[in-house]
Amino acid sequence: SVTSGGTVVSGINVDLKRDGDWTGFSGGATVKDIPAKAAGRVRVANGTTTIELTSGQATVQGIKAAIAQASTVSIANGTTSLDRLVLNLGGGTATVTGKVGQALDINAALAKVPASLANSFSRGLDAAGSISGTVKVTGAPANPSVAFKIDAGGVQTAQTRSA
């Protein structure tokens, strides 16, 4: 395991394979008690790091997020750019595009994300139904502005069922 500050990374297992300008990778690790694995390739050229993700998944508080289709992440001049990162979330999807750097410009489209995913974060919630919509995050990372439009289909909680 490796510790940096308060972050512990354990169970590190990564295979690397050089292919011209690219380095292929596959493997995983547990970071802050979050098991994750990924596969793809990376290239560093002309001040830009390009990561092509072909697969990946992480489990946070029992919720599995998995890459649904290949995606590209680029890092240049202190800015990370996401090119259509599509995640499977409990049978629904979140599609994220945008940039993170000195300023945020992130767009997420949610499609039929199960409300039950919130049950892992709130004991006794017993949420059901699905959530679709859009989220836009802009501004400075220290003070972001979040705008959203949400469609909730059949959403219920233990509290609304007993009302």
Q: What is the pLDDT of residues 72-119, one digit of tens each?
A: 999 999 999 999 999 999 899 999 999 999 999 999 999 999 999 988
Q: How many CB atoms lie within 10 A of CB 107?
A: 14
pLDDT at position 121, please?
86
Surface-to-core class of residue 47, CB atoms within 10 Å of its CB (0-12 exposed, 13-18 middle, 19+ buried): exposed
End-to-end CA distance of the chain: 49
> Helix (H, G, I), strand (E, B), or coil: what is residue 118?
helix
pLDDT at position 112, please?
97
- The CA distance from 92 to 125, in Å, is 19
- The CA distance from 75 to 52, in Å, is 12
Q: 3-state SS of the chain: helix, strand, coil percent to 5? A: 5, 75, 20
pLDDT at position 5, please?
87
pLDDT at position 161, please?
87
pLDDT at position 4, please?
87
CA 148-59-122 angle, 5° bins: 60
State phi, psi for 91 to the nearest 5 degrees.
Answer: 100, -15
> Helix (H, G, I), strand (E, B), or coil: what is residue 159?
helix
- Which residues of the chain, if any, have pLDDT below 70? none
Residue with tokens 């990564």: 14
CB contact set of 69 (below 8 Å; sequence gap of 6+): 84, 86
Residue with tokens 């499609």: 111
Residue with tokens 């767009």: 107
